[in-house]
Structure 1
Amino acid sequence: MTQKELTHSAIELLKKLISIQSFSKEEDKTADAIQAWLLSYGISTERDGNNIYAKNKHWADDKPTLLLNSHHDTVKPNQAYTKDPFHPHIEDGKLYGLGSNDAGGPLVSLLATFVHFYQADNLNHNILMVASAEEENAGEHSLRGLLPKLPHIDVAIVGEPTLMQLAIAEKGLVVFDAVVKGTPSHAAHPNTDNSIYNTIEVLQWFKDYKFEKTSEALGDVKMTVTQISAGSQHNVVPSQVNLVVDVRVNDAYSNKEIADLLKKDAPCELEERSLRLNSSKIDKDHPLVKSGIALGRSTYGSPTLSDQAALSCQSLKLGPGDSTRSHSADEYIYVHEIEEGIDIYIKLLKGFLAPNGE
């Protein structure tokens, strides 16, 4: 099969995936479709929940392993859609449909790349393909839940829309619940300890706080108060105000360091929800990155979270499509972006895996 035929097949698979509802935790039918597509190329798969994975034909336990991963779940369509989110169709070179850009395009491009290299018998790495579930909600049965059942992974490409530029680092995330306390009282009486007024100073502290360490790839840690709630009656001063604080962590800190620092310094009670979504990166001189740079790809740091946060190995985020289209109304990906994505993936892996024949 030629690369052109394989690309056409991948685009047809994407159309099929778009037509199937696959919200997080409801991806069983898209999992079936991915299994059937791989089987059509003689590739047997394994399945864990709605995660589908497969090994290259000439797997050797003494070789390091490259993971190719993207997800087939989607968010729910927002109310601003003007097109049927489950009706894949091409207009002016754009393939429309829910999940077309995030992350259907990267997923089918990686699947096509895996098929391309599947039978190569002299690769310097094994290739493990994982089409994962529950990425959008970081669920228990996502890549994170699957990893303990997989072989050791040495390096990974995570397929997300990056315009086929090399995201060599990705910010982590810690969400905090904050409580600003005060003295409850009737609104008609004096109260010098009003929790809502106390919050003014706390909000200013969060707004002005600066983390010392910056990152070449990811810049500064970004901290944002995103939610605030208090009170239930007009004539009652509440005993506390509840805040939610979103912290996007660069690779100069671990999530635990961020939590320890803020809990020590913050002028209010603070509790983290989870520390598991750490930042991730790959060395700029890693052979995988060098192979991409040799193809004219640029490097950058990504502010958005992906399944990279589940991986302990070095990983590169790379894929066709544009992150700014993700979760938007009337989501789309250009057909030429998929064609280019498959071509660049294959060329990048040729440089990295160095097969002598195909």
Structure 2
Amino acid sequence: MNLSIEKLHSDAYRLLQEMIGISSLSRDEGAVATFLENQLKEWDLVPSRKGNNLWLRNRKWQDGKPVVLFNSHIDTVKPANGWTNDPFTPVVHNGRLTGLGSNDAGASVVAQLAAFRYFNELAELPFNLIWSATAEEEISGAHGVTSILDELGPVDLGLVGEPTGMNLAIAEKGLLVIDAEAVGKTGHAARNEGENAIYKALADIQRLLDFKFPDESPVLGPVKTTVTQIEAGHQHNVVPDSCRFVIDVRTNECYSNEEVFDMLSGLLGSNLKARSCRLNSSGIPLDHPLVKRGLELGLQPYGSPTTSDQAVLPFTTVKVGPGDSARSHTPDEYILEEEIRSGIDTYIGLLEDLKIV
């Protein structure tokens, strides 16, 4: 084998530093995609590209074998207020790499790529392997991973790279955003006129606070509803005839997003409209060979409250990657060099000799 583990480690760490130096906000990932594409070609790999999405197939691809997918995202959120340094300038100090996208999810991108390069050199694999680095994850955009699923073809297992401390997120909550409107009638605030839409909205919000979905997940817990925005009224002396509010719903695997929407529509008097029902909860069985391998390696299974591209992948997936979710979207986001090294080794350990049906 031409590639040593140490070279894979050092290449990944250098690559991430260079990626941080290239702005890759959601919908504007073209420059970093081109940079990665050129780097892959320098390593004698043959990338495919659609829009700002890249992918590779292993050199010894054999039709008929199960297909495993490494997937993570190259887009970042906008930098939050409070950065000590320029978020697009990588800062290395005592084994800590600080920069926008270092933790979420650049470390996963480069660690998965290193593991792909390791397996790509092997003469024989019990599966086919794809590595993909995709766009628009942070906004669940239409031009991200879902736009290349037809090109990838059938996939049997996906490892979604997000900061999990390399523990196994065996389930992930879905996301349902609902726009609600309570409707009343205008009237003069000084007289007993009209129907105050704010009061109607408050009554519905209280119903949400009091309501508990009957089925609770042993891994993800209950469905969680949170009112996150509210707007009503145009002037102080007019009873408002409309009060709009937004409900953020985090669903478990006991319900589809459509079922949750129907239940809330029956519970509330306000008019409800779902922005999208496609980000459903997802998960992987505890007896899956990959989960068993992870447990053998000492990884901890857990349920993730955050949503990722896992929600839009129509096959069995697990979320696992270097870093800490608590650092994501925060000022001075960072990753440790040791976390990248450990991530590469763990990705290799998870897939080495893995047999899936």
TM class by shorter chain equals over 0.9
CA apart distance, 1:40 = 2.5
Partner of 2:343: 341
- Normalised by the size of structure 2, how large is the TM-score? 0.97
User: For 1:95, which of 94, 97, 105 is the aligned residue?
Assistant: 97
1:266 and 2:290 aligned: no
User: For 1:193, which of 192, 195, 217 is the aligned residue?
Assistant: 195
2:222 maps to a residue whose letter is D
What pairs up with 1:139-154 in 2 under 5 angstroms?
A: 139-154=141-156
Partner of 2:7: 5
Q: Could you tell me how far apart the structure 2 residues matched to 1:58 and 1:93 are?
A: 36
- How many pairs does the alignment contain? 354
What pairs up with 1:1-358 in 2 under 5 angstroms?
A: 1-191=3-193, 193-352=195-354
Q: Could you tell me how far apart the structure 2 residues matched to 1:62 and 1:11 are?
A: 35
2:98 maps to a residue whose letter is Y
Backbone CA RMSD of aligned residues: 1.2
Q: Could you tell me how far apart the structure 2 residues matched to 1:316 and 1:250 are?
A: 15
Q: String of CA shifts for 1:207-239, please: whole Å, max 9, x gaps.
A: 111001111211111110111000111111110
Matched residue SS, 1:201: helix
Q: Is the 8 A contact 1:162 1:323 kept in 2?
A: yes
Report the identity percentage: 47
Q: Is the 8 A contact 2:188 2:194 kept in 1?
A: no
CA apart distance, 1:353 = 5.1
Q: Is the 8 A contact 2:74 2:134 kept in 1?
A: yes
- Normalised by the size of structure 1, how large is the TM-score? 0.96
Q: Which runs of 5+ in 2 are unaligned?
A: none
Matched residue SS, 1:124: coil
Q: Could you tell me how far apart the structure 1 residues matched to 2:254 and 2:274 are?
A: 19
CA apart distance, 1:203 = 1.3
Q: Could you tell me how far apart the structure 2 residues matched to 1:138 and 1:204 are?
A: 30
Q: String of CA shifts for 1:5-60, please: whole Å, max 9, x gaps.
A: 11100110000000000001111111112112222321101000010001000111
Q: String of CA shifts for 1:249-298, please: whole Å, max 9, x gaps.
A: 00111111111111122232111111110111011110111111100001
Q: Could you tell me how far apart the structure 1 residues matched to 2:193 and 2:323 are?
A: 55
Q: Is the 8 A contact 1:123 1:353 kept in 2?
A: no
Which range moves more in the overlay, 37-46 or 104-113?
37-46
1:225 maps to a residue whose letter is V
Q: Could you tell me how far apart the structure 1 residues matched to 2:97 and 2:355 are?
A: 31
1:236 maps to a residue whose letter is V
Q: Could you tell me how far apart the structure 2 residues matched to 1:191 and 1:165 are?
A: 59
